[in-house]
A = this chain, B = another copy of it.
């Protein structure tokens, strides 16, 4: 076993630095909870004021403890915690955890103290959980090394799912909610401010944990994206689903996560993109963290989004169906074989998509026969049975025909219409995913059926010499429009034909070369907003008109910005397309390079209609992005509109996403706006773009 894993989750000798004998104090809890839940190793309280604490020999300091120490839980605040960490490092403790907050979670002064922790970790190699960690718990063998009050429960349930949380208090909420459902965990760890050990590395350790079959994440931010990506991919390959709840869907939620954890925040769309790329199942309802794993563990991935629904309670099932449809699932009707079988039994299940057995069909053999036939049908990808009041009054009877499908070859779940805790517990114990609310059932099925599989990270070939040169030039001289266009063109994005000329006299010749109509733009590093300075003229049909326009531009710009140094004109071919697309590139502070495809124009901006992915993307993924942008329906073949060159658009997106290459690490943001999409077969062409450096 990995020694870090062993020291973290299965320590045999635990030092409690700052342990208290006062049971009213939080610092007394780890010792009490360890013993209460049957820790069989050695507890080594450290407290200079006492020789004994709650029956255990106490030590003046770490140095007084003989032998190896697997893990130390530091229960001191501020400077005391820093000094204790240093002492742990000196003493050769493998892993230390710090309970106290008041570090980066508490403003600038705290952040400086947190830096001291980081230095100790870097200088000594000791591994650290926290600060601001409420503890690390295993259930088998039991190690309740935590100060979370929720562990005052009498019995710690074992289970096969591990929880990794950036919030300490939510550990308790998950524990209590799962326990109420008859569900236990293998491990629970609060990673706090993640100075050293963060979600990704811990998840990676858990992939190899034979006691863990699913990894549940409660996240406020993302500090080690690469490690988590690696862990998620390994977990997927190992058949261990990674399910994540993340705060910060709303702006105020992001703000809270930031202030609560001292973290920086990326956008919510980029976290979605991260999950999608690396095969993490993201849930939006908190309790889905508990509901969903049963649908994923030890099951092959679903093949599609079609759910068949059978019930004895039409109204209850209609709620489930309605919510599933709103969540993007399709409802599959019953196969003829089932309809015929039911007819023989005198049950008219209706001619709709819902198999409503009604009260007449609420017999165990009919229910079981129905589910069996639905599970055998190739016309659906999953089956849901919605139970009515029998679940409330006759749990054993209601559940009996269902439990045999716990190991069905495709996802099978039960939704309970009444409050029926006993049935819920029986189903859960039998391994049948069961839901208390129509809304949670719908979310669970959607997560299960629409769960992303890890996508290969597209290989990024070394950029060509032209792109490297164009980038160097822009970096050295500043990325004005011309240089940005040159760089994008070198990356493989088709750019509108353009010629830079030093003065108005050369404009007509440039138009002759390019062909009208053209746009004319003043070139000047000193003018940020060309249109406002009068520096742009559009739709000039020929060289003569353009030459006249150039002189007028010159006059206007000189009047507007007398000090500006003018470098001539950009003569650019005027282009038209069926649709205007915006391509955005950004290095997200959390997940790294991302690319966004959106529709151009003010309406698309208002509708926030865009698709975001981690960059780079290949053409196949670019094609998926195009399909996700609703407004691009206009070029995908909508009504009688002519289809656009979607293939060329996908190529351009993939080419643009090569900005993710390390060679261009100095690019913080880039944008092409607009990229015009022409008719199918006629390509795309970018008209304007910009590059921002770090």
Chain A residues packing against B (C-beta within 8 Å) = 26, 106, 148-150, 152, 165, 167-170, 172-173, 175-177, 179-180, 218, 220, 247-253, 255-257, 259-260, 285-287, 313-319, 321-322, 325-326, 331, 348, 350-354, 356, 359, 388-390, 392-393, 417-421, 437-439, 599, 602-604, 606-607, 609, 630-631, 633-634, 638-639, 641
Asked if A176 meets B419 with Cβ closer than 8 Å, knowing A169-B389, A315-B167, A603-B634, the reply is yes
**Could you tell me the distance in whole angstroms from the C-beta of A500 to the nearest C-beta in chain B?**
29
Asked if A286 meets B321 with Cβ closer than 8 Å, knowing A177-B418, A638-B602, the reply is no
Please give me the residue from chain B that is nearest to A284 by CB atom.
B439
C-alpha spacing A308/B220, complex, angstroms = 21
Partner among B150, B317, B318 whose Cβ is within 8 Å of the Cβ of A389:
B150
10 pairs from A and B in contact (CB 8 Å cutoff) = A165-B315, A169-B389, A247-B319, A259-B350, A259-B352, A260-B352, A286-B319, A286-B437, A606-B631, A607-B631
Partner among B176, B260, B602 whose Cβ is within 8 Å of the Cβ of A641:
B602
**Could you tell me the distance in whole angstroms from the C-beta of A607 to the nearest C-beta in chain B?**
5
CB <8 Å contact, A150 and B392: yes
Find chain B residues with CB under 8 A from A247 CB: 315, 318-319, 322
Interface SS of A by simple majority: helix
Instruction: Identify which of A259, A359, A630, A631 gathers the most chain B CB atoms within 10 Å of its CB.
Output: A259
Please give me the residue from chain B that is nearest to A314 by CB atom.
B260
C-alpha spacing A599/B354, complex, angstroms = 36
Asked if A417 meets B322 with Cβ closer than 8 Å, knowing A352-B256, A602-B638, A638-B602, the reply is no
CB <8 Å contact, A169 and B313: yes
Partner among B150, B167, B175 whose Cβ is within 8 Å of the Cβ of A314:
B167
Q: Kindly list 14 other residue pairs between chains A and B, CB separation below 8 angstroms, not including A252-B322, A256-B352, A285-B437.
A: A148-B389, A149-B392, A150-B418, A169-B314, A169-B417, A173-B315, A173-B418, A252-B325, A256-B317, A256-B321, A260-B356, A286-B439, A439-B439, A603-B631
C-alpha spacing A659/B639, complex, angstroms = 30
Copies of the polypeptide in the assembly: 2
Find chain B residues with CB under 8 A from A638 CB: 602, 606
Find chain B residues with CB under 8 A from A220 CB: 315, 318
C-alpha spacing A421/B438, complex, angstroms = 20
Asked if A253 meets B148 with Cβ closer than 8 Å, knowing A170-B417, A172-B388, A316-B170, the reply is no
**Could you tell me the distance in whole angstroms from the C-beta of A292 to the nearest C-beta in chain B?**
15
Asked if A149 meets B393 with Cβ closer than 8 Å, knowing A603-B603, A630-B606, the reply is yes
Find chain B residues with CB under 8 A from A418 CB: 150, 172-173, 175-177
Find chain B residues with CB under 8 A from A253 CB: 318, 321-322, 325-326
Find chain B residues with CB under 8 A from A260 CB: 314-315, 318, 350, 352, 354, 356
Please give me the residue from chain B that is nearest to A599 by CB atom.
B603
**Could you tell me the distance in whole angstroms from the C-beta of A431 to the nearest C-beta in chain B?**
21
C-alpha spacing A602/B579, complex, angstroms = 12
C-alpha spacing A356/B259, complex, angstroms = 11
Partner among B148, B168, B322, B630 whose Cβ is within 8 Å of the Cβ of A256:
B322
**Could you tell me the distance in whole angstroms from the C-beta of A256 to the nearest C-beta in chain B?**
5
CB <8 Å contact, A389 and B176: yes
Find chain B residues with CB under 8 A from A421 CB: 180
Partner among B152, B252, B606, B633 whose Cβ is within 8 Å of the Cβ of A321:
B252
Find chain B residues with CB under 8 A from A388 CB: 169, 172-173
> Sorted from nearest, which 10 A-B pairs have the closest CB atoms?
A167-B315, A253-B322, A250-B325, A176-B418, A180-B419, A169-B313, A176-B419, A170-B315, A149-B389, A259-B352
Find chain B residues with CB under 8 A from A356 CB: 260
